[in-house]
Structures are given as C-alpha cells and as structure tokens.
Amino acid sequence: MPEEKIVAVATRPVASAQHGEAAFFDVDNTLMRGASLFHVARKMYQRGAFTIPQAAGFAWKQLMFVFRGENIDDVHAVRDTALSLASGFTVEDIAALGEEVYDEMIESRIWPGTKALAEQHLRMGRPVWLVTATPIEVATVISTRLGLTGALGTVGEIRDGSYTGRLVGEILHGPAKAVAVRGIAESEGLDLNRCWAYSDSHNDIPLLSMVGHPVAINPDTRLRRHAREHNWPVYDFRSGRRAATLGLKAATVGGAIYGLWRGFSRFRGPTV
C-alpha cells in the first residue's frame, strides 16, 4: 500500500492562536517573485531529470506566469510534467532538492514586504501558514527557513521510499486551498472571521473570501478589480510595476524566451 501523507506540515510548535487568529500566505508571486515550481524544475534539470526541449517548455510557462499571472491550465500542465519527472526519486532526494532550491533560487526572490507582514503576525502571536500548490516538501523548507508555523502544499504519493508520480488527493490550488484552510481552522480552533489571507491570484478568491481580513498582494488584474469592488487592502511590492509591464509587452517573445532559456542552459555544464 502507498504511504499516506497529510497536506499540512507544522515546522514549529503551533502556538495558541491570539483570539483564534492566524494568517495564511500564498507563495508564488505573493511571498516570492515568480513560480517556485519553475525553480524546482531547474534543479531537476541540473540532475538530468529531463531534456532541453522539456526545459524550454518550463521556461515558456514561467514567462507566461510572470507576464499574465497564474493560469490553471499552466498549473496543471507543470504539475503533470513535474509528477512524471519525480517518479523514482527518493524521499531523501526530494528533501535535499528542496533545500538546494531554497538556498540557490528562492531566498533571493522573497518579497521583503510580504516577509515583513508574516513576521508582524508572528510578533502578535498569530500562527502563520503557507498555503500553496507547490510540493509540500518545498513549501515546508520555505516555512522552516522563514520561521513560520507550517505549510500546506501539494502531496506526492510515496511507495517504498520513492515517489510514484501520482498525487495524494488533488493539487492544492483554487478552491482546494479554502478546503485545506478550513481543515486547519477546525483542528486548531481558529475563528476564520478573525484570520488573514494573502494572495496575488484571482484563483484564490475562495480562500480570501472565507476570512475576515483578505489582502491582495501583487494582484493580477482580476483580483485587483475584485479587491477594489470589495474594499480589500491591496499591497504591490513590485517596484516599477507599470514600467515592467510595458517593457514585457514591448519585448519580443523570442527575446524573453532567450533570457529564460539562459536560466536553464547555464546549468548544463561544459560541452564536449
């Protein structure tokens, strides 16, 4: 029988919530710049898990993620590819990969403003959880390194100490995040009306809508509009956001892909 894993992992003792309060943070484009799964793919490429054409596909999806925000079809496509590539990796392999990805690629991409918000909640005695479609192993590393309470993430099935390439449950995305947070609230005795949630994506509106204090961070167009209509706070930590957007629109697709391609090719090592 496959080994069962839970969707949430506590990385530090769960403190008694301040009046049943807690804060929940999305990861991609909310806590960090870009998509964490893309950086996992880069690290797997270093280890020879897939080919250069597959790397180009990941690069294109990362470009689209930065350009237009989160898209459910792209999320599912990356998930399916990553799962197939992870098949056969051991638990120890993925744990080490998560640590390397954080040190080499994620730490420098953490938004200082979002980190400061999380730290403020901790100082007020509120547990802080990450809620992300990112693999739970990587989400747990991020949570641990930042001193947060724990993480909820997508869980891969393990058999005999290795990943099978299948999921336990569904990808933690969209409405699934709301379900997972409700489960944490029930187990920890939280009052969701006194909780906070932070995200950049309109896909997380179900999560944001279920808490008393929803906050949009670096929002996509649809979430920005929704936040304004509902008087939600909006924080944008992207410096020169409008200029950057215009620059992306003016750039050729070939030029943008070249930059991402170099992100992969620099890890290929010397040619023979």
Point out the least confidently predicted range of 28-32, 75-79, 158-162, 253-257. 253-257
Give whole-number Cα distances, 250 to 58, 89, 144, 241, 255, in Å.
22, 41, 39, 14, 10
What band does 238 get if pLDDT is binned at 50, 70 and 90? confident
CB count within 10 Å of CB 116 equals 10
Structural contact between residues 155 and 83, judged by C-beta atoms closer than 8 angstroms: no
Q: How far apart are CA 22 and CA 55, in angstroms?
A: 38
Amino acid identity of residue 199, one-letter, is S
pLDDT at 42 over 90: no
One-letter amino acid identity for 12? R
- Considering the entire predicted model, what is its pTM? 0.75
Q: Could you tell me the two tokens for 257?
A: 């892909």
Q: How many residues does the chain have?
A: 272
Query: Whole-angstrom Cα distance, residue 182 to residue 192?
Result: 8
- Residues 87 and 113: their CA atoms lie apart, in Å, by 36
Residues 6 or more apart whose CB falls under 8 angstroms from that of 221 comprise: 69
- Could you give all domains of the chain from N- to C-terminal order, each with its CATH number? 8-265 (3.40.50.1000)
- What average pLDDT is seen over the chain? 77
Residue 271, amino acid: T
Most confident of 11-20, 95-104, 248-257, 259-268: 95-104
Catalytic annotation present for 26: yes
28, 200, 204, 220: the catalytic one is 28
Alpha helices in the chain (DSSP H): 36-46, 52-68, 72-86, 91-101, 112-123, 136-145, 175-188, 205-209, 221-229, 241-250, 253-265
Question: Checking phi first, is residue 230 left (phi over 0); if not, alpha (psi -120 to 50) or beta?
Answer: alpha
Contact 101, 40 (CB under 8 A): yes
- Over residues 101-128, the pLDDT tens digits come to 899 889 999 999 999 999 999 999 999 9
- pLDDT at site 142: 95
Interval 160-184: pLDDT, tens: 888 777 777 777 888 999 999 999 9
Cβ neighbours of residue 256 closer than 8 Å, sequence gap 6 or more: 63, 67, 248
